[in-house]
């Protein structure tokens, strides 16, 4: 374990990982479990070929898990090299997961939590980077900071008329979006979710706010 990761922090990180695994149990059908987890293996570039093969082999039979505890135990046992790496290097892992893959040609990073792109509709679309291991308090701080930075971008770009936030986060935290000045429009279509968020199994919803309102609310 990295000397920078205390026992308490490692326990918190393992709890987050366990919660993420149990969510998969509830979101996917049994027949999808094994494929879902094996499809994630290329994201862990630091795994050796032998470790990938071992994890793939140990995931066999996961669909036979009788309850969420058995499922979670099976997955965490198979992914032990990944869990060990993440617990020792949580910040490095999170940065790896954020990467440049999330940035589009017309987009850019605002901070460690938020990035955006300007769509073909000339509107700003906000996105959230993976932040599994950032505390809730820090996420809220980064959210406020990111929205202020987005407001600065908008002051310099008068072509943008609206700001959109489209995510599973909108579905699960509509009140937060409303507190931030957005109007929650509801879930996007299944076709749009498959096209834009193919790997996301949670319901994705959209919220929006006019440019001037956004600038007024989030400018420093």
Asked if 78 and 105 sit in the same domain, the reply is no
pLDDT at 205 over 90: yes
Measure the CA–CA gap between 149 and 77, rounded to whole angstroms.
42
What confidence tier does 198 reach under pLDDT thresholds 50, 70, 90? confident
Asked if 147 and 165 sit in the same domain, the reply is yes
Final residue before a domain boundary, out of 93, 114, 137: 93
Asked if 148 and 60 sit in the same domain, the reply is no
Asked if 125 and 148 sit in the same domain, the reply is yes
Asked if 150 and 106 sit in the same domain, the reply is yes
Mean pLDDT of 149-164: 94
Residue 46 forms part of a structural domain? yes
pLDDT at 197: 81
What confidence tier does 204 reach under pLDDT thresholds 50, 70, 90? very high
Nearest of 131, 102, 101 to residue 116 by alpha carbon: 102
Q: What SS3 string covers the chain?
A: CCCCCCHHHHHHHHHHHHHHHHHHHHHCCHHHHHHHHHCCHHHCCCCCHHHHHHHHHHCCCHHHCCCHHHHHHHHHHHCHHHHHHHHHCHHHHHHHHHCCCCCCCCEEECCCCEEEEECCCCCEEEEECCCCCCCHHHHHHHHHHHHHHHHHHHHHCCCCCEEEEEEHHHHHCHHHHHHCCCEEEEECCHHHHHHHCCCCCCCCEEEEEEHHHHHHHHCC
Residue 114 forms part of a structural domain? yes
What confidence tier does 151 reach under pLDDT thresholds 50, 70, 90? very high
Over residues 81-94, the pLDDT tens digits come to: 999 999 888 888 88
Final residue before a domain boundary, out of 60, 75, 93: 93
pLDDT at 13 over 90: no
CATH number of domain containing 213:
3.40.630
Residue 1 forms part of a structural domain? no
Number of domains in the chain: 2
Q: Name the residue range of residue 27's domain.
A: 7-93
What confidence tier does 145 reach under pLDDT thresholds 50, 70, 90? very high
Determine how many CB atoms are found less than 10 A away from the CB of residue 127.
19
Would you say 110 and 146 are in contact if contact means Cβ atoms under 8 Å apart? yes
Phi-psi domain of 20 (left: phi exceeds 0; alpha: psi -120 through 50; beta: other): alpha
pLDDT at 106 over 80: no
Asked if 157 and 84 sit in the same domain, the reply is no
Residue 44 forms part of a structural domain? yes
Which residue is listed with tokens 């082999």? 57
Mean pLDDT of 125-154: 91
pLDDT at 1 over 50: no
Asked if 106 and 210 sit in the same domain, the reply is yes
Mean pLDDT of 98-111: 72
Asked if 45 and 138 sit in the same domain, the reply is no
The rounded Cα 70 to chain-centroid distance in angstroms is 25
Asked if 210 and 133 sit in the same domain, the reply is yes
Residue 85 forms part of a structural domain? yes
Q: Answer whether 0.75 is exceeded by the pTM.
A: no
Asked if 52 and 68 sit in the same domain, the reply is yes
Over residues 44-74, the pLDDT tens digits come to: 989 999 999 999 999 999 999 999 999 999 9
Asked if 109 and 206 sit in the same domain, the reply is yes
What confidence tier does 180 reach under pLDDT thresholds 50, 70, 90? very high
Asked if 146 and 54 sit in the same domain, the reply is no
Final residue before a domain boundary, out of 44, 73, 93: 93
Would you say 77 and 70 are in contact if contact means Cβ atoms under 8 Å apart? no
pLDDT at 5: 58
Would you say 181 and 164 are in contact if contact means Cβ atoms under 8 Å apart? no
Phi-psi domain of 210 (left: phi exceeds 0; alpha: psi -120 through 50; beta: other): beta
Percent pLDDT > 70 in the chain is 95
Q: Return mean pLDDT, the chain.
A: 89
Measure the CA–CA gap between 69 and 58, rounded to whole angstroms.
17
pLDDT at 208 over 70: yes
């Amino acid at each position: 374990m990295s000397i920078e990761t205390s026992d308490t922090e490692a326990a918190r990180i393992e709890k987050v990982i366990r919660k993420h695994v149990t969510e998969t149990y509830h979101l996917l059908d049994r027949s999808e479990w094994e494929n879902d987890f094996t499809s994630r293996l290329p994201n862990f570039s630091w795994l050796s070929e032998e470790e990938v093969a071992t994890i793939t082999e140990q995931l066999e039979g996961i669909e036979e898990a009788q309850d969420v505890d058995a499922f979670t135990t099976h997955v965490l046992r198979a992914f032990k090299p990944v869990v060990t790496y993440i617990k020792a290097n949580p910040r490095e892992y999170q940065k790896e997961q954020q990467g440049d893959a999330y940035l589009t040609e017309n987009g850019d990073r605002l901070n460690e939590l938020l990035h955006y792109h300007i769509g073909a509709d000339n509107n700003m679309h906000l996105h959230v980077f993976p932040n599994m291991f950032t505390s809730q308090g820090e996420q809220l701080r980064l959210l406020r900071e990111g929205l202020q930075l987005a407001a600065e971008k908008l002051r310099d770009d008068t072509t943008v008329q609206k700001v959109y936030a489209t995510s599973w986060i909108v579905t699960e935290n509509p009140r937060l979006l409303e507190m931030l000045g957005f109007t929650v429009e509801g879930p996007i279509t299944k076709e749009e979710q498959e096209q834009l968020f193919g790997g996301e199994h949670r319901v994705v919803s959209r919220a929006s706010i006019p440019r001037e309102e956004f600038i007024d609310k989030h400018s420093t």
